[in-house]
Amino acid sequence: SAMMAPILSTIDRAGYDYVNMLGGAVFDVCVRYLHENPWRRVEMLSTRLSTPTDGFLRGQSPYTFELFPDDIVELNSQVLARNGLKNVTVYDALNDNRNVEVPIASAKAAGMTVTAVTVYTVSPVHTDDYYAARIRELIALGADRVGVKDPTGLLTPERAKTLFAVVMQAAGDTLVELHSHCQSSLAPEVYSEAIKAGFHYVHTAVMPLANGASLPAVEEIVERAAELGDDTTLDMAAIAEISGYFSWLCVREGKPRGKVVAYDPSLYSHQVPGGMISNLKSTLQTMRMGDRLTEILDEVGGV
């Protein structure tokens, strides 16, 4: 949290519609590795940023992979809102939208807005009609915005051309978002297709924290939007300052900068999300099993 604080005023100048600060693993990392209070981080960022703040919640299991009772989910919404969070982005990994009913209703009751997203994957079941039905369900549950979340980076530009048109039609007047990771290296091309299709928001990261297992770089997506005739109105001088700050932090802390990765067809077998693959690699290194990553991913695909 101390590393985030010095750059917050510059992030405010960038002109983002909102800034995401929270995902399910963030609470785990704060407690397990940083010995920080994650609630205080939410409060600090939401208080010091004038840009609205957003948090990703895994439906009925917001911070771990176990399902929580309804009253805990409701309490979580109340505390997040009390600490200043303005929007929650909710999803269920298996698109079982029964698991987002309480998160959506409780977030709205607490005064937050809600983005509800359907999770993209590849199988004979996951057709355009399937995703259109999930989008309509989320709107019926009261979502203020809807979207597509592609945590592994499985979307291709060709698939996006057919899917995004159907998503936009199913959404009607509801605003639509895209969130895709760069593990296949195709996400920036997919974002171009989203812009062409009329998506209202795309999720990005500044250059040092982008690409690889992360999101596309905001710098690249702004250029792509401009080439397609869309002005994002972002302050690129502020964004350059933000990227410079995090590049310096990478050097100071000995952390890797984000970099574009080669296309990896094995993603379509193991389908390990971007939010997990870096943790898996780190865990294997700690266990002195880093050389077995490919073998383990093959096993995941088999399972």
pLDDT for the residue 266: 82
CA distance 286 to 280: 10
pLDDT for the residue 64: 81
pLDDT for the residue 114: 98
pLDDT for the residue 275: 75
Q: What is the DSSP letter of 235?
A: -
Degrees, nearest 5: CA angle 110-113-119? 115
pLDDT for the residue 91: 97
CA distance 92 to 98: 9
Q: Are 219 and 191 in contact (CB under 8 A)?
A: no
pLDDT for the residue 278: 79
Q: What is the DSSP letter of 30?
A: I
Degrees, nearest 5: CA angle 58-60-65? 65
The residue whose two tokens read 């051309």 is 161
The segments of the chain whose pLDDT lies below 50 read none
Give the DSSP H or E segment for 237.
Answer: helix 236-253
CA distance 150 to 60: 19
Number of helices followed by number of strands (H, E) in the chain: 13, 7
pLDDT for the residue 154: 94
